[in-house]
Structure 1
Amino acid sequence: MRLHELKNVAGAVHRKKRVGCGEGGGHGKTSGRGGKGQSARSGSSIRPGFEGGQMPLYRKLPHRGFNQAAFRVEPAIVNVGDLESLDASITEINLEVLGANGLVRRDEKLLKVLGNGEISRALKVTAQKFSESAKAKIEKAGGQAIVA
């Protein structure tokens, strides 16, 4: 099979909606835009929550409290099976080593090791968090799980 022989699955490609081609087509006259007004014009886009200049609901209601969700730092996630795929000469693993080998982004600040997969060699792994299964698998293989 070659690239030019590939076909789309049945139903994957839809016909383009042709508007403004007469009433018989079902999308004539106003072309599905209703009557007159701002939304009938070309280039029209009204942002969500806009109420025509009236004070919008989201500005009328009080905002209380503070939420740290916007400032949360999510850890980079690596599985024990991914550590097995690293070069055999590497015995000490930390965020910098994983970044250099392409398992996490280089600008990550936190690392969490999860227990998916198997590990057969002794590694000294330094991370901010370990799952219970990851810690058990690393120590069973003769390695160390160090919480930084």
Structure 2
Amino acid sequence: MNLSNLKPASGSVKTRKRIGRGPGSGLGGTSTRGHKGAKSRSGYKHKIGFEGGQMPIQRRLPKFGFKNINRISYKAINLSTLQELAESKNLTHIGLQELRNAGFISASQLVKILAKGTLTSKIEVEAHAFSKKAEDAIITLGGSVSKLGGKSEKAE
């Protein structure tokens, strides 16, 4: 074997179709495009969603729902969670940093304290929002509530 007799494996190389080269080639005339219609003509470009003149699916189906651009989404933390955290770490003040360190929230999340569960220890809680019952439960035990500024004032 040398460079003068190298050739590709049999069947691995196909000759390309030479369309539009006259009737003798068998691929002249319509050049494999069929007869008439937009697809047979030069400059045809497929429009996204076009279904041949039939009413397209995105116009047949009704619109559904909407996204409120002013929505503020909070990460819900229950009183039972605060109680467990206060007992396990022996805390009297629970703020965003303590919740982040415990893995309950990420750095960018807003926090709302909800009243599910019971609270038995006196703690100071710092969050963006509180439910009325949660706020009352913390205050009745002698704890304190402080609302953080920022986006939370829009929601209330």
TM-score normalised by structure 1 residue count: 0.53
Q: Is the 8 A contact 2:49 2:58 kept in 1?
A: no
Q: Is the 8 A contact 2:76 2:114 kept in 1?
A: yes
Q: In 2, Cα distance between the equivalents of 1:53 and 1:83?
A: 61
| Residues 1:52 and 2:39 aligned together | no
Q: Is the 8 A contact 2:126 2:145 kept in 1?
A: yes
The answer for the alignment partner of 1:80 in structure 2 is 79
Render the CA deviation track for 1:91-147: whole Å, top value 9, x for unaligned. Answer: 221222111101223331x11000000111111111121111101111122111111
Q: In 1, Cα distance between the equivalents of 2:90 and 2:114?
A: 22
The answer for the alignment partner of 1:91 in structure 2 is 92
SS, match of residue 125 in structure 1: strand
Render the CA deviation track for 1:75-105: whole Å, top value 9, x for unaligned. Answer: 1110011000113422221222111101223
Larger-Rg structure: 2
Q: Is the 8 A contact 1:135 1:145 kept in 2?
A: yes
Matches within 5 A, 1:1-148: 50-52=49-51, 54=53, 56=56, 58=58, 69-70=68-69, 72-86=71-85, 87-108=88-109, 110-148=110-148
SS, match of residue 68 in structure 2: helix
Letter in structure 1 aligned against 2:113: V
Against the structure 1 CA distance between its residues 50 and 133, is the aligned structure 2 distance closer, same or farther, given a 3 Å change threshold?
Answer: same
Q: In 2, Cα distance between the equivalents of 1:88 and 1:144?
A: 19
Letter in structure 2 aligned against 1:72: R
Render the CA deviation track for 1:23-77: whole Å, top value 9, x for unaligned. Answer: xxxxxxxxxxxxxxxxxxxxxxxxxx94515574757xxx9xxx76246331111
Against the structure 1 CA distance between its residues 140 and 51, is the aligned structure 2 distance closer, same or farther, given a 3 Å change threshold?
Answer: same
Against the structure 1 CA distance between its residues 106 and 140, is the aligned structure 2 distance closer, same or farther, given a 3 Å change threshold?
Answer: same
Letter in structure 2 aligned against 1:113: I
Aligned-residue RMSD, C-alpha: 3.0
Against the structure 1 CA distance between its residues 56 and 111, is the aligned structure 2 distance closer, same or farther, given a 3 Å change threshold?
Answer: same
Q: Is the 8 A contact 1:100 1:106 kept in 2?
A: no
Letter in structure 2 aligned against 1:147: K
TM-score normalised by structure 2 residue count: 0.50
Q: Is the 8 A contact 1:93 1:123 kept in 2?
A: yes
Gaps of 5+ in 1: 1-48
